Amino acid sequence: MVFQAYRELRQEVEALSQAIAQGGCNCAQLKAALMHLQTLFQTQTQSLELDDLDPALAHQVQSFNVEIDKQLRLLSMDAMFLQAAKQVATREQRLNQMGDRLTLLLRYCNGLLEDQS
């Protein structure tokens, strides 16, 4: 089913969000987790065939995909800036920003999954 990929993406985003919130991610782990998220999105979610869906729903899924892709790219940039951060306050700011982006990704996934039921 089309939406199974979004369930998997949501689970991965939740896991990363929890790891960041608990302080259980170093920069290398964070970059690896983000790479995994991007790969999952590109291979399982973004490449889904939407022809069998109602055209309005397919358009909505495509819109969500654009936003998810954008947030994933911004998360990667945040991770690079986090790695370069020297001051604790800057690191905290980057981690908070990443948490906000992950929350937004969860809302996108949940929005897609709610619409399919």
Torsion-angle region of 23 (φ positive above 0: left; ψ -120 to 50: alpha; else: beta) = left
Q: Is pLDDT of 50 > 70?
A: yes
pLDDT at res. 28: 82
Work out the mean pLDDT of the chain and round it to a whole number: 88
Distances in whole angstroms, Cα of residue 116 to Cα of each of 70, 87, 93, 98:
22, 44, 35, 27
pLDDT at res. 49: 79
Average pLDDT rounded to a whole number, residues 51-60: 84
Q: Largest Cα–Cα distance in the chain?
A: 51
Going along the chain from its start, the domains and CATH numbers come out as 4-115 (1.20.120)
**pLDDT band for position 116 (cuts 50, 70, 90):** low
pLDDT at res. 30: 87
Residue 37 burial (C-beta neighbours within 10 Å; 0-12, 13-18, 19+):
buried
Q: Which amino acid is at 45?
A: T
